[in-house]
Amino acid sequence: MNEKFFDLKKDKQDRMINAALKIFALNGYKHASTDDIVAEAGISKGLLFHYFGSKIGLYTFLHDYSVRYMKLELSTGVSSSLTDYFAIRKQIEAAKMQVLKNYPYMQKFLDSCSSETVSEALHAIEDQRGTISSLYDELKNQADRSLFLDKVSFEKLDAMLDYTVSGLMEAHFTDVSFHPEMLYEETASYLDMMKQITYKQ
């Protein structure tokens, strides 16, 4: 991690991080412009390169920071003793909500990294590229599958809910009055509904 960068005041750090997360998340590595990032952050390009050296240096830092931040929120926010699949998913979504409060584009950035095609960017993040998805799998695998109706495929249900959560996030993100709490509440309502029709009574 970049020690010089962390000597800056926290609000300036977050302003630069959020600007870069947004531009990379919306445009992908190839089309993300450092001009757009510095304009969004309200800083000079010289300052950006002083701390990160290059566009790929910034991208690498951003990915490493995002992975570390998400891992911390998930590891502290999801109980290792939970076995109720839907309770686990709720805690995962609550942890993601906390991330969104500070870094609105972090999840979208990580999602964009998972579908990145530029070799330079892929090479820079290859060591940690699957870290968060593996952590999600590990947390969800705590679930006691015997609670489900026999006809329910755990894998298909989990995939369906992933698509649902992703779609809800996308829909909320396009709303100018976006609030992470509202996204969480709607997501939780879908989880509650699915629990009622997939669990044994």
Of all helices (H) and strands (E), which one includes residue 109? helix 106-114
Q: Give the CATH number of domain 5-198.
A: 1.10.357.10
Q: Tokens for 152? A: 């329910």
Classified as helix, coil or strand, 21 is helix
Chain-centroid distance of CA 141 in Å reads 19
Using CA atoms of 186, 191, 195, 197 in order, give the dihedral in degrees to the nearest 10. 70
pLDDT per residue as tens, the chain (201 positions): 577 889 889 999 999 999 999 999 999 999 999 999 999 999 999 999 999 999 999 999 999 999 999 999 999 999 999 999 999 999 999 999 999 999 999 999 999 998 889 999 999 999 888 899 999 999 999 999 999 999 999 999 999 999 999 999 988 887 777 889 999 999 999 999 999 999 998
| DSSP-assigned states of every residue in 65-79 | HHHHHHHHHHHHHS-
Report the distance separating Cα 68 and Cα 80, nearest Å.
19
The distance from CA 95 to its chain's CA centroid, rounded to whole angstroms, is: 10
Q: What residue spans define the domains of the chain?
A: 5-198
Q: What Cα–Cα distance (Å) separates residue 169 from each residue in 35, 51, 108, 179?
A: 28, 32, 9, 11
